């Protein structure tokens, strides 16, 4: 390798376009903007989705659905997951440490899916009516 062989990495340098600097540059006169019209003029442009006055696509289509912003803070956990966890006292922190719920979660609810044989005491965790009955039948409690 010689000093005169050193070149910048392929694609790291690119030609800086200087528009409106004469006919020889290839980008003189209209500077690549074409002739006349809104796009050729300084400051003239349209908002995103504008279709020249025609009713835009996002307004032609019907509104549908809703995504709750509070849903990212709520989580569900099954009885089967509680069985696998194997802890007697379960709270939000222990569920986060076990990786059963995400770090952003603030509210957890136990749902009746699967079987529970161990006695589990829930602290600060909600449960559905069916899940609560299953936990109490196994000798646990919901606080």
Q: How far apart are the two ends of the chain, measured CA to CA in Å?
A: 73
Token readout for 27 is 């980008």
Q: Quick one: tokens of 1?
A: 């390798």
Model-level pTM? 0.56
pLDDT at 15: 87
Dihedral, CA of residue 19, residue 23, residue 24 and residue 30, to nearest 10: 30
Query: What are 2-37's pLDDT values in tens digits?
Result: 999 999 999 999 888 999 999 999 999 999 999 999
pLDDT digits (tens, 9 = 90+) for 40-60: 999 988 899 999 899 999 999
CATH architecture of 72-142: Ribosomal Protein L15; Chain: K; domain 2 (3.100)
Distance CA(81)–CA(134), nearest Å, equals 14
User: pLDDT tens digit string along 97-110?
Assistant: 999 999 999 999 99
């Amino acid at each position: 390798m010689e000093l005169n062989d050193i070149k910048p990495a392929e694609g790291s340098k690119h030609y800086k376009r200087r528009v409106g600097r004469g006919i020889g540059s290839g980008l003189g006169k209209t500077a690549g903007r074409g002739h006349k019209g809104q796009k050729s003029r300084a400051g003239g442009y349209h908002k995103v989705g504008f279709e020249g006055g025609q009713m835009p696509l996002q307004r032609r289509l019907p509104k549908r659905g809703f995504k709750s912003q509070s849903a990212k803070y709520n989580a569900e956990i099954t009885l089967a997951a509680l069985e696998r966890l194997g802890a007697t006292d379960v709270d939000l922190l222990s569920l986060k440490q076990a990786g059963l719920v995400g770090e952003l979660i603030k509210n957890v609810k136990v749902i009746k899916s699967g079987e529970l044989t161990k006695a589990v005491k829930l602290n600060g965790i909600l449960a559905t009516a069916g899940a609560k009955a299953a936990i109490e039948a196994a000798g646990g409690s919901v606080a």
